[in-house]
Each structure stands twice: as C-alpha cells, then as structure tokens.
Structure 1
Amino acid sequence: MAENIENNGCSQRDNAEHEGYVKASRSFNRIWKERDSAQPRLLEAILYKDNFNRAYKRVKANKGAPGIDGMTIEEALPYLKEHQQEITDRIYRGKYTPSPVRRVEIPKPDGGVRKLGIPTVVDRTLQQAITQQLVPIYEPLFAEGSYGYRPNRSAKDAILKIKEYAEQGYTFAVVLDLSKYFDTLNHEILINLLRKKVKDERVVQLIKRYLKSGVMENGVVIDTEEGSPQGGNLSPLLANVYLNEFDQEFLKRDVPCISVVVKHFCNTYG
C-alpha cells in the first residue's frame, strides 16, 4: 500500500511537472510567435507581385539604356515573366547576385565627365521594388529642408524656400557642394544607418550586395568599395538617407538648411 501511495505520489508529481512544462512551453512558443509576427516582413513586401509589377512599370516609364547584358526594357518583360519565381527564390535564399553596372561617361558643363553606372533592367526593377517599400519608412524622417529626389518636391520648391528665408531677414548663406557625393558614400556608415530603421536584415544584405556589385568598364569588372552609382533606382534614396545625418545636425543647432541632391538625367545615354 505504501509503495502504491508512493508510486501514486510520484505519478501525480510527474504529471504536475509535465503539465507545468507543457504550459511553460506553450507560453514560451506564444511569446516567440508574437515576437516573430511583430517583426517586419519587408522582403516579402518588396517581392510581392503587385509591388514588383508596379516597379517594372516605373522602370519602363523611365525608359533607359540596357545594362551589361544588353537586355532592353521590352525584352525584360518576357524574361521576368519566365524567371521571376527563380529570381525570387534566389533572393529569399540569399543567393541572388546583382550584375555589375555598365560604366557610362557624360560630359559636364565645366569640361569634365560625370561617371554613371547603368544597372541591368532586371536589377533596376528590383531596386525600384526596394525603393517603393523604403520610401514610406524614410519620408517621415527626412528634414523639412530636404528637397532632392523626394515626392512632390523639386528644385523650384527649394528656391521658393530660400526666398522665404531671405524675406524673414536672413542675409547670409553658406553654399556647400559635396564633391563626387554618390561616388564616395561610405558603405559601412550607410549600412549601419539602414539598420537603424530597416529591421529585416535580408533587405539590408540585399542592398549591400547592390552596393558591392561592381562596375564594368572597358570589359573589366572593377570592385566597388565605396559609393552608390548614379543611374540606379535605389541610389537617390540611399543618398538622402546618408545626407539626412548632415541635415539633422543643422536642425539641432536651429540653423535653416536646404539640401538638394542634384538629379542628373541619364536615361538617354547608351
């Protein structure tokens, strides 16, 4: 009898411990599921069919020359229809490698040349898809005095704002020109800035691969250790993310600041 009672006691204790373990496990799993569901699924939003299709339409509307593969915008549509799932799978697995950009030089008014980097149409479409999902994240964070490459803002708006400051009594201005701005963006600093707001590390790594994709010049691929090529759909937004740190420093000092990342039209250059 004593043995039975002892066995029953052990059994009851084991059952209680098991029930406690099950409850704890369920609670633990629930917490982690809630935590996981709260994490942004930004990459899924980028590769969502409607977002991807909208990106291609934007690239098509912008026209533009082919990248290093020679594929035109018209030729890209059937290619994307056939290979979109394959491209998407490679991106999800972290195996997608962007093509190097094609180097194009255009003359500058001062007699020099401006170096552009033309991505392939496929990469321009992917960059545009990324941009469309990042813009809503970053737009509220940019300084009021930032006008370059922003929705519903233009250089004309910047001029009107400068005029407004003049009418308020400001009589001095400091004009700064960041030499070779796009070409000299520090990748490490930019990636760290992105991580502050982009919580989906897969997206950060995809952007990093674009920054490191290289440039083809005279048939030779050159590594890109800095900069974001002018000519890519993602570069203007990245340039604004980088420059925003500069703008915010002026705001902290209560100094009016107008920043304009100058847009260079390169769509017609072959």
Structure 2
Amino acid sequence: MYQKEIWSEAYARIYSNKGAITRGVNENTLDGFSSERVENIISKLTENKYKFTSARRTYITKRSSNKKRPLGIPTGDDKLVQEVARILLQRIYEPIFSDESHGFRPQRSGHTAIRQIHKQWTGIKWFAEFDIRGFFDNMEHSLLVELLEKKIDDKRFIKLIKCMLKAGYLEDFHYHPTYSGTPQGPSCAQAKGLEAEN
C-alpha cells in the first residue's frame, strides 16, 4: 500500500473518469495531483494519521427508472486512497472468485454473464431475476469486516477499511454518520463483490 507505483496506477485509473475532478465537501480534487501530495498521504497512512473526510451526498437518477439513488462524492485524496484499497482488494480476491461471478469485476459485466448463460445453459426456457433492494445501503459493516479478516491479516489495512466505511456524509450542511452500508461507486466495488461471493 505504501509503494508509489500502486498510487500512480490508482491515479491513472480514476483520473480518466469524468467524475475524478468532481469536488466532495471541499476543494480537494484529483486535478493537478502531485507526487508530494501522494507522499503526504502515504506518510499519514504509515503513521495511522490519515482521516477520511465525510462524503458529499447527492442524488442521481437511476437508469432504469425516474427514481433517485444517493451517491456519496468523496474528496480527491479519499478517492485515491479508496482506489488503492480497491486495487489491493482486487489482487487478493480476484484469483479466488467464482468464474460464474460477473458483478463488480474487471472485464466482466451483465453482458459477459449473458454470454456465459447462452453458451452453458442451453435448453433452459425460464430465468428468474432477483434484486435485493437496498442491499449496499444496508450492508452491516461488521459482517463485511469479518469476511475481509478471513483472508487479510493486515490489521492496519482492515482498520483503514473500517474508517472508510464510517466516514459518514454531509447533506444540506448536516453531518450523518454511517453505521451500515457501503459507498456506491467503483472504489468499493471489490468489497461488494466479496460480499456477493459469500
């Protein structure tokens, strides 16, 4: 987690995203990021002094309906730390995930799931689709951490994930703590995939 190469990889992955320069609760974005800033973040992490900032809560319209879902927008530094954590989680869990799992994984999607079904499930006439409403909004932090601890021995990394989950959010200038749920977005996707696997 403290090697500069992984931070460069994380920055490259998220800076190309149009939301990379979207500001969170402060002016801290990924625009104009420097190696000095990365060194400062790494220093805070090694000294256990890094503090996540509450995300800025906004609402976006769901693609499939006119309903809105909450979205937490973290600061630039937090986005980068989350992406580094996501890359590390991906390296740990990707080799052990089921080949039938397609959600929140690199080079996989609903389309790859459909292709696999088309190839392997010949003769099947009916499928049922299920959606666990509000699953990511209500996921128990303790359960997710317990699952992570089964595979990860690094207590500092686990503590970082806990702090990430408990950062809370600001909505209309009011702070709201988070007791359950995970942030919505690509940075936390690997942890969500872990939950779906177990």
Q: Scaled by the length of structure 2, what TM-score is found? A: 0.91
Once superposed, which parts of structure 1, at least 4 consecutive aligned residues long, lie more than 4 Å away? none
In structure 2, the residue matched to 1:225 is: 179
Equivalence map 1:144-183=2 (5 Å): 144-167=99-122, 169-183=123-137
1:70 Cα offset (Å): 2.5
Q: 1:207 to 1:177 in 2, by over 3 A?
A: same
1:144 Cα offset (Å): 1.4
Correspondent of 1:140 among 92, 95, 101: 95
The answer to whether the Cα contact below 8 Å between 1:47 and 1:129 also exists between their aligned partners in 2 is no
Matched, 1:98 2:38: no
2-structure distance, mates of 1:62, 1:222: 27
1:93 Cα offset (Å): 2.4
In structure 2, the residue matched to 1:234 is: 187
The answer to whether the Cα contact below 8 Å between 2:86 and 2:188 also exists between their aligned partners in 1 is no
1:111 Cα offset (Å): 2.6
Larger Rg: 1 or 2? 1
Equivalence map 1:91-130=2 (5 Å): 91-108=45-62, 109-130=64-85
Report the RMSD for the aligned CA atoms in angstroms: 1.6
1:183 Cα offset (Å): 1.0
Matched, 1:198 2:144: no
Say which structure is richer in helix. Answer: 1
Describe the superposition over 1:53-107 as per-residue Cα deviations: whole angstroms up to 9, x where unpaired.
11112121113111111233214x14xx334333222212222110111111012
Equivalence map 1:200-219=2 (5 Å): 200-219=154-173
Gaps of 5+ in 2: none
2-structure distance, mates of 1:56, 1:139: 21
2-structure distance, mates of 1:222, 1:127: 20
1-structure distance, mates of 2:138, 2:178: 10
The answer to whether the Cα contact below 8 Å between 2:10 and 2:80 also exists between their aligned partners in 1 is yes
In structure 2, the residue matched to 1:59 is: 14
Gaps of 5+ in 1: 1-45, 246-270
1:140 Cα offset (Å): 1.7
* Range with bigger deviation, 188-197 or 176-185: 176-185
Q: What is the percent sequence identity of the aligned residues?
A: 33
Q: What secondary structure, in the 3-state scheme, does the structure 2 residue paired with 1:234 have?
A: helix
